Amino acid sequence: MSDYTPNFLSTDDLLAHLQWRYAVKQFDPTRKISATDWHALEQSLILSPSSFGLQPWKFFVVETPKLRSQLPEFSWGQLQVVDASHLVVFAIKTKIDDAYINAYLARMAEVRDTSIDRLAPLAEMLRGFVSGRSADELKDWAKLQAYIALGQFMTSAAHLGIDTCPMEGFSPAEYDRILGLTDKGYASVVLCPAGYRDPSDRYAQLPKVRFPQGEMIETL
């Protein structure tokens, strides 16, 4: 653990960034995210929290123009998937088994400089969680975890002045086919193009429509 103490945002900065963020309808295809900023966003994905820390996902960054050109047809015609600087496909593992749990435990032992034997109680808990659920239940659980990563990615991008657009309007089966995800043991669940808004996107200037705080937050 590093002794470094980050310079945290002020409350005004935080709220300003969240107010600035919106789901971009038109990206500027001429503007690209810098390598430095993209590295930070990739790290935000890797650092995303997940239940038990199991990370039942993989993030596919689609860069190849030939692949991206095939995607609007299966994205309800939404051009964000080709116009944005980067496109992230959030995918979940289709099989979470003992082998995956063992790999996670081995990684934990390595990172925390401990022995596998000391992780036995955790191993038992993880195996009990997985074995006690059907394949469909595990899929639903993994999908919820992917949305946690999506939220972290979008918020991190907003702090860097980078635009995003979360997208469920696509055909997962066709994406899996085009990107070869099924053969890799993954299934797409949500997309997030990232880049910079086009100045002509009128949605950038529209005020956010949210219910009043008193209706959305209740202190018990």
Query: What are the structural domain ranges in the chain?
Result: 25-203
Per-residue pLDDT of the chain (220 residues; tens, 9 = 90+): 567 888 999 999 999 999 999 999 999 999 999 999 999 999 999 999 999 999 999 999 999 999 999 999 999 999 999 999 999 999 999 999 999 999 999 999 999 999 999 999 999 999 999 999 999 999 999 999 999 999 999 999 999 999 999 999 999 999 999 999 999 999 999 999 999 999 999 999 999 999 999 999 999 9
pLDDT of residue 4: 83
pLDDT of residue 119: 98
> Where does residue 154 rank: exposed (0-12), middle (13-18), buried (19+ CB within 10 A)?
buried
Q: How far is CA 76 from the centre of its chain?
A: 21
- Which residue blocks in the chain are alpha helix, DSSP H? 11-20, 35-46, 65-69, 80-83, 98-111, 120-131, 135-159, 172-179, 213-216
Residue 116's SS3 state is coil
pLDDT of residue 65: 96
Tell me the CATH number of domain 25-203, given options 3.40.50.1000, 3.40.109.10, 3.30.300.30, 3.10.580.10.
Answer: 3.40.109.10
- Which residue blocks in 97-134 are alpha helix, DSSP H? 98-111, 120-131
